[in-house]
Structure 1
Amino acid sequence: MAMAEVSEEVEKMYESYSKLYFELKEKARIAAENREKILGEIRVRMDAWRNVIKSLLESVNVEYQNILSQVAGSGFVRLVNEDDIESAGLEIYVGFKGSQPIPLNIYSQSGGERSTATMAFLLALQKHIKSPFRAIDEYDVHMDPRNREIIANLLISAVKNEGAQYLAITPNQMFFEGKDVHIITVQNVDGKSLIREVI
């Protein structure tokens, strides 16, 4: 078969497909460029997010360590999975009575140590979170009396100049002589709730 015998339709089809190929190739190039721009923007935003979080953690760690030192503890908070915002998080480390800080979990620390470490972290973090009202429930469960008193006084000191109100619920008896607090007790007496204002 000679070239002269090629149908005009084949030539038109070739030109049509050739034009379509180059159009698709150009669209693919533009899509690849846009993808790179978007990925670049994501990297910029991730870096900004990471820098803000790390700066916040530096400040939180200073306060966290200060609070822990008052209850014979040491520790730090670190960012984990920082390259994947979907799985990123914070890991709290704590050690008491001279032991090296280890990750806070139900297997390594007692209930009182976990409660103390958690409250130390929340108190350290709260200076960076503005809220007119905060509530915590049974924050001192399992704490020994010394740590309970220290954490309660730190809680009062932390909110004193913030213009925030706290509602702290505890099954334990608390003493706040000379402190600017309002205490209401609710006790179950003979199956009825007995409510009494203490301060």
Structure 2
Amino acid sequence: SNIEKLLADKRKEKEKLEGEMGELQREIDAEGMKLKSIDERARLLTKVFEEILSTQGEVASELSRMEAERKGIEREIEELQFDVSKVPLPNIDEAELEKEINRLFEERRKLEPVNLKAPEQFEKALEEVSSFEEKIRGLIEERKRIEEVIGEISRRKREAFMDAFNSINRYFGEFFSELSPGGWAKLVLENDEDPFEGGVLIRAKPAGKEIKSIEAMSGGEKSLTTIAFIFAFYRYKPAPFYLLDEIDAFLDKENVKRVARLIKKLSRDSQFIVITLKDIMVSEADMVYGVTCVDGVSSIVGVNLQEVLPA
């Protein structure tokens, strides 16, 4: 039937919107995971960079030590390069001379092994440091880009939410004032700075009553407030038809009349199917369908009130 088709279309529309919201959330989560991965890589590269700097310092220290030793050896060589014939030979004990020779050999042994590749290794370390610095700069830029993407998504998400919230809040106040003349109602965010970190509260003042939260209202007041809230959503996101099941159950005659007239006004743009046991609600309908049950068999009787009632 047409109703079933419309219901199916609305379900598809709802599933599509939920899918889009889910996709948006997955996009935010994915960007967040990338950002977390970049943070981890940046920490790792920073650690490696610090180790390279430490190694660089050790290599520089080793080069300085080797340079000092080289100069010391050169001085010793220069001291040994003299004309022996011009120097009178002292009376040296042979054992003492042997001991001194052994000492010099030991000193030479301590200088081994000399790392002849140290300068080359030092240059390579400098190249690695430069390469890591470039990678770190790239990661910082990538992180900045991802943060900008997340910020843009969050901004658009907040703008869309606030646009819907402000519109629904305005319609809510209008419908409540119509259902409770002299009263007012509004929606309040728990967290104005970040709407997604808090809920939405309903504040209402029925005509002649004190300001109340939804929890402190009577059954009839809750019904009026809920009806105004639901219709505010309908006005923000209209649908071809609406099905309302005994929304007037807790309302007195005057309030039933106001709700019926509001539905009548809204029915200019959408079709309303209302299940009710109240005569006042029925009197405002264009078509009335009654269901009877005889011997376990249900029968439906339809009446066009526009045809049977006088104009």
Q: TM-score, normalised by structure 2?
A: 0.49
- SS where residue 93 of structure 1 aligns? strand
Matching residue's letter, 2:290? T
- 187 and 110 in structure 1: CA distance in 2 versus 1, 3 angstrom threshold: farther
Match for residue 99 of structure 1 among 200, 209, 217: 209
Partner of 2:102: none
How does 1:84-95 map onto structure 2 within 5 Å?
84=194, 86-87=196-197, 89-95=199-205
Q: Which moved more, 1:54-63 or 1:132-141?
A: 54-63
Residue by residue over 1:145-194, the C-alpha shift from the partner in whole angstroms, topping out at 9 and shown as x without a partner, is: 2212211221221131x2x32222335445444x5622213356676544
1 CA distance for matches of 2:195 and 2:132? 34
1 CA distance for matches of 2:297 and 2:123? 91
Q: Which moved more, 1:60-69 or 1:6-15?
A: 6-15
Partner of 2:272: 166
Q: Does 1:6 align with 2:115?
A: yes
- SS where residue 242 of structure 2 aligns? strand
- SS where residue 127 of structure 1 aligns? helix
2 CA distance for matches of 1:120 and 1:57? 15
Q: CA deviation at 1:141?
A: 2.8
Q: Does the aligned pair in 1 maintain the 2:253–2:280 contact within 8 Å?
A: no
- 17 and 65 in structure 1: CA distance in 2 versus 1, 3 angstrom threshold: same
Matching residue's letter, 1:135? L
Match for residue 255 of structure 2 among 123, 147, 151: 147
Q: Does the aligned pair in 1 maintain the 2:289–2:303 contact within 8 Å?
A: yes
Q: Percent of pairs identical after alignment?
A: 25
Q: Which runs of 5+ in 2 are unaligned?
A: 1-61, 67-112, 305-311
Q: TM-score, normalised by structure 1?
A: 0.71
Q: Does the aligned pair in 2 maintain the 1:135–1:166 contact within 8 Å?
A: yes
Partner of 2:287: 182
Q: Does the aligned pair in 2 maintain the 1:123–1:158 contact within 8 Å?
A: no
Matching residue's letter, 1:91? L
Count, aligned residues: 193
- Between structures 1 and 2, the one with greater strand share: 1
- 191 and 22 in structure 1: CA distance in 2 versus 1, 3 angstrom threshold: farther
2 CA distance for matches of 1:169 and 1:122? 16
Residue by residue over 1:31-57, the C-alpha shift from the partner in whole angstroms, topping out at 9 and shown as x without a partner, is: 333333333344344444444444444
Q: Does the aligned pair in 2 maintain the 1:92–1:103 contact within 8 Å?
A: yes
Q: Does the aligned pair in 1 maintain the 2:287–2:303 contact within 8 Å?
A: yes
2 CA distance for matches of 1:74 and 1:158? 20
Partner of 2:33: none
Match for residue 35 of structure 1 among 133, 139, 143: 143
- Between structures 1 and 2, the one with greater helix share: 2
Residue by residue over 1:82-138, the C-alpha shift from the partner in whole angstroms, topping out at 9 and shown as x without a partner, is: 555655553322222333434323xx1122211211111222232221322322333
Q: Does 1:115 align with 2:220?
A: no
